[in-house]
Amino acid sequence: MATDVLFDAGPRFEVRRELGAGGMGVVYEAFDRDLGELIALKTLRRAAGQWLARFKHEFRALHDVAHPNIVTLGEFFDGASEPFFTMELVRGVSFLEHVRAFEGAPARHAAPPVAYDEARLRAALRQLALGVSALHAAGMVHRDIKPSNVLVAPDGRVVLLDFGLVAGATARHESADGVVGTVAYMAPEQALSGEVTPAADWYSLGVMLFEALTGSLPHDGNTAFEIILDKQRHEPPRPRQRVDIVPLDLDELCVGLLQPHVRDRPQAGAILDALSIRGRATPTRALSSARGGLRESAPFVGRLDQLRQLHDGFRRSRDVALIYLIEGVSGVGKSQLAEAFLEELVCEDPDAVVLSSRCYEREAVTYKAFDGIAVELSRYVTQLPPAQAAALMPRRPALLGRLFPVLKRVEAVAAAGEIQPVADPQRQRIRMFAALRELFLRLAERHRLIWYIDDLQWTDADSLVLLQELIAHEDRLPVFIVATMRPAEDAPRQALLA
């Protein structure tokens, strides 16, 4: 049902109706006047702290993933009232509505008469498996695959949606809310807040397959806790035990996917073979570093001179700020060089604090070069003992939350409350910059500090002003900055060298 007052997304977008809402945000149908087409627009209700970080991560995680069975994202905007991003408008029905011949959600307990279309189920299942495999190949786990997050368009195209809980392929839960996901479709290890690997997504797909075949869920309970216990203690039932004409191959696949132990579930290749899928992508693993989100990669070969220059620059930045700019056209290995250096650095100096960021072309975000740094800074500080975190705080911690709302994840910042704004916006900005510089100075007294900014050619003018205020001040912040950029974009480079 549409809201009384629709979301104000600015003059470019005509917001027409509400498509759906959840605890985190609202999705609207809107007309994009620049593109001349209908799109979906997703907003965030709680634009602060953990929620804001998760919302931005949802967009950025899928920014470079292109696959016909994964929803295509558009652009990210700060927004006048709330942040939002655009994505393709997918018109369709949920996975279960598509594959079963009756309307409405399947029963939780009693299995209805057989009512699934086997041809539809097999075709949709193949597409969903390809989308999940592509996501894993990009180094991510969805963590909330369920029927409502899988739409089937009228032409039969299956689209995986809602990546609000997406994480690295071996991520541990970082949610302040504890277990995240939907319990009925959640793998046992995910419910335990342990490591979540691609196997967790395949388990969720197994629950959906079971539900499609039988009209009921494989595990029951009156509470979420009872359902989790049932998954951990009992082997999953066979779909054929409830509906005896279920095809043998789908029965075997479903039972394999629902195994309570990760080691007993089939790997991606076996799953795709069982579905007779050829020409698929091989999933890869991406490991998130506690100090900057670096990804595990193959050993770096070549460019030893550049690596030596980076290490030399790091040694010379002990008392001053230094910027090392890696320039080159797209595809020459700028990011690979930077990440190889940072991986070596973290191994050699485990106490060094590496904060990484990336400028995205399709984001209209203020201070976009520092947005990721602020996210990682908030994560780093929240993991410190309270006394150590408090020792890093500036005299006016609330200014940090005003500059970067994600920093309100930090208890000392959130506890400081709101600060009275001053009449002069420029003066207020100087105060916020000073608070951030004060925090970084205190951090640099304790650890070597490194900022890594990828794709600097897409930065904004405000980021360059903030950078100048942080490193050109008389307080002399000692930080080593590694940035990558394409040479064709000259303005950011000249601003940095000025």
Residue 272 in contact with residue 134, Cβ under 8 Å?
no
Q: How far is the C-alpha of 266 from the C-alpha of 203, rounded, in Å?
A: 10
Is there a contact between 416 and 399 (Cβ–Cβ < 8 Å)? no
Structure tokens of 352?
A: 């060094």
> Residue type at 14?
E
For every residue of 158-193, DSSP letters joined together read: EEE---TT-EETTBPP--TTSS-S-GGG--HHHHTT
> Residue 321 is encoded by which pair of tokens?
């700020």
Q: What is the DSSP letter of 196?
A: B
The β-bridge partners of 150 are 160
Dihedral sign from CA coordinates of 10, 12, 15, 20: negative
Residues 6 or more apart from 280 whose CB is under 8 A from it? Answer: 130, 133, 272
Given the structure tokens 């655009």, which residue do they identify? 86
CA distance 423 to 135: 47
Closest CA to 236 of 208, 256, 212: 256
Select which of 32, 144, 162, 251 is catalytic.
144
Question: 3-state SS string over 398-433?
Answer: HHHHHHCHHHHHCHHHHHCCCCCCCCCHHHHHHHHH
Q: Is 144 a catalytic residue?
A: yes
Q: Which residues are catalytic?
A: 144
